[in-house]
Amino acid sequence: MNLLLVDDDTTLRKVLSKALTKRGYHVSAAANVIEAESMATENSFEFAIVDLNMPGDSGLTLIPKLCLINPNIRIVVVTGYASINTAVEAIKLGAINYLTKPADTDEIIEMFNKGKEDVLNNAKPLSQVEWDHIQEVLNACDGNVSAAAKKLGMHRRTLQRKLKKKPGTDTTSTED
């Protein structure tokens, strides 16, 4: 089982490569989209794990290229910067699942075995994914809302409004 692992984090690549190798995968690791494209044209990969935020091109640009090379490839996106837009885009481009970091090896492997329909039916609501990501960033900033807002690329007041909402609640209104 040939697997392409694409992530710019050297430590994560080494640890995940080792864990996947122990589970029977033949892993080829790339640090960016250019390396990954080169490897994909030279080898036949059944599986791919793709990070989104890397120096140079985003992992999103790699997904359709991998699908063109091998229409049966099963791609799981694993990112530390989850968003509703990128999750939807990744699935539209050909990924079969989208996970937020940290994701353990067994969870990633489990996602390879699920179809897109399973992913869409069993995935966390995107509002919950967003909430979880906000909480992780907030914790990393020791509860400092201003610092977390800066890391998340949003205004402090916007973050404060999001923090007041409960995950999964819909506050959109159709009335104007």
pLDDT digits (tens, 9 = 90+) for 62-112: 999 999 999 999 999 998 877 778 888 888 899 988 888 888 888 889 888
Alpha carbons 95 and 122: distance in angstroms, whole number: 16
Domains and CATH numbers, the chain: 2-122 (3.40.50.2300), 126-164 (1.10.10.60)
- pTM, whole model, 2 decimals? 0.66
Task: Return d(Cα 55, Cα 33) in angstroms, integer.
Answer: 9
pLDDT digits (tens, 9 = 90+) for 102-137: 888 888 898 887 754 444 444 556 667 777 778 888
Phi and psi angles of residue 122, each rounded to the nearest 5 degrees, phi first: -110, -5
Lowest average pLDDT, out of 43-57, 61-75, 131-145, goes to: 131-145
